[in-house]
């Protein structure tokens, strides 16, 4: 009996290790969100681009980083800090103007340039970004929320 229990425990343990990382819990105003880096493999001293794709839930929008409305909460992309990694300025798509506010609806892509120092050691860097936003629809706004989106980068020799 104890052999079956031990075998079951070992199996469960191995499944937990092999399971893929859980997707981030999304606030109600996002239908989907992901981050990726291209190229995914870079030599020390090289460059890449962090791409964040946000899909709004039907009927929702988020505000631009420069919302143009004093009551709107600006969206923000905050790249994960790592030694030897420098990020450029986030590039957002052109917003739509809605009642004097700059908003984003549907699917949007935000890009952030990445530069690696020549001293970065080979291996996998756990990069990505936190995205802070407030989703609103025709009847009101949800509280602002922040999600973290992982995006690994492999540093080659």
Predicted TM-score (pTM) of this structure: 0.83
pLDDT tens string 105-122: 999 999 999 999 999 999
Instruction: Say whether pLDDT at 66 is over 50.
Output: yes
pLDDT tens string 123-151: 999 999 999 999 999 999 999 999 999 99
Across 55-73, average pLDDT? 95
Instruction: Say whether pLDDT at 51 is over 90.
Output: yes
Extended beta strands in the chain, E state:
30-38, 41-43, 47-56, 61-63, 76-79, 85-87, 96-98, 101-105, 107-116, 123-133, 135-137, 140-141, 145-156
């Amino acid at each position: 009996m104890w052999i079956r229990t031990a075998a079951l425990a070992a199996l469960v343990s191995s499944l937990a290790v092999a399971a893929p990382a859980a997707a981030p819990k999304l606030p109600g105003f996002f239908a989907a969100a992901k981050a990726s880096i291209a190229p995914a493999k870079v030599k020390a001293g090289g460059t890449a681009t962090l791409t964040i794709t946000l899909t709004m839930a039907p009927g929702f929008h988020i505000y631009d980083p420069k919302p143009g409305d004093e009551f709107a909460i600006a969206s923000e992309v905050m790249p994960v800090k790592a030694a030897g990694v420098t990020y450029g300025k986030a590039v957002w798509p052109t917003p739509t103007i809605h009642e004097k506010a700059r908003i984003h609806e549907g699917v949007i892509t935000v890009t952030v340039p990445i530069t690696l120092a020549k001293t970065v050691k080979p291996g996998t860097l756990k990069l990505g970004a936190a995205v802070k936003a407030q989703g609103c629809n025709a009847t009101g706004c949800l509280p602002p929320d922040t999600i973290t989106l992982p995006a690994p980068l492999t540093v080659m020799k």
